[in-house]
A and B are shown apart, each in its own frame.
Chain A
Amino acid sequence: DQQVKQNSPSLSVQEGRISILNCDYTNSMFDYFLWYKKYPAEGPTFLISISSIKDKNEDGRFTVFLNKSAKHLSLHIVPSQPGDSAVYFCAASVSGTYKYIFGTGTRLKVLA
């Protein structure tokens, strides 16, 4: 049972345009969500997070939106840069459970 789903395995975007990565979840108990970025041969690195009490969190070029009623979150990257090319994982957790549930990842390619 995949509680966190990233239905797009890959995405290509032109440099300077917006990248939108999507993530859906099924467990309504999730109350904290994160995005991680992973380059080849490296471990994932934390990008941005959002608590369920918010619907938006922004950090520079990265913004995460949370739609609790739709059980959907998205990561917007504006403007996209070639260095953003990586695999992006969304993850969710329930307070007190001490673990993240990760999606399968979306490979973003930003074309110069």
Chain B
Amino acid sequence: DSGVTQTPKHLITATGQRVTLRCSPRSGDLSVYWYQQSLDQGLQFLIQYYNGEERAKGNILERFSAQQFPDLHSELNLSSLELGDSALYFCASSLWTSPQETQYFGPGTRLLVL
């Protein structure tokens, strides 16, 4: 158990809909990262927050947005969903924000768009 929690574990929805994925980092960690893993793909970095502020952006679509709240939990919002958005979405956390820090991953949310 990494100490990072993600809800829900599974999500099934229809094209055009909007969903929110939630992540609670390890106690004391200030950084939260979001990744997408599509079928047969590596983990694609989406976005990072550090202590409530956006720190880095990766291959995140404009239909996707995220935020980190004062209690440090984070939400990833996916809107106007398409079939291709079906994937595993992982959240990870670390104490600070250096790439040389270990990132601890949650178990992921499996999203299926029908």
Contacts and interface: CB of A to CB of B under 8 A. Distances in A.
B58 to A, nearest CB: 6
A98 B45 CA distance: 10
B10 to A, nearest CB: 11
B4 interface: yes
Contact of A99 (B4, B48, B100, B107): B48
Interface string A41-58: 111111001010000000
Interface size class of B (residues with CB under 8 A): 20 to 34
A98 B56 contact: yes
Nearest to A5: B42
A65 to B, nearest CB: 19
A110 to B, nearest CB: 22
A51 to B, nearest CB: 7
Interface in B53-106: 55-56, 58, 90, 92, 97-100, 102-106
B99 A45 contact: no
Nearest to B55: A98
A42 B107 contact: yes
Contact of A45 (B2, B55, B56): B2
A94 B98 CA distance: 10
A100 B43 CA distance: 9
A97 interface: yes
Given A93-B99, A98-B55, A98-B99, A104 B104 contact: no
Nearest to A92: B99
22 contacts: A41-B107, A42-B108, A43-B2, A43-B4, A44-B90, A45-B2, A45-B104, A45-B105, A46-B102, A46-B103, A49-B100, A89-B42, A91-B43, A95-B100, A97-B56, A99-B48, A99-B99, A102-B43, A103-B42, A104-B40, A104-B41, A105-B42
Interface of B: 2, 4, 33, 35, 40-45, 48, 55-56, 58, 90, 92, 97-100, 102-108
**Cβ-closest 6 pairs across A and B:** A43-B105, A93-B99, A98-B56, A102-B42, A102-B43, A104-B42
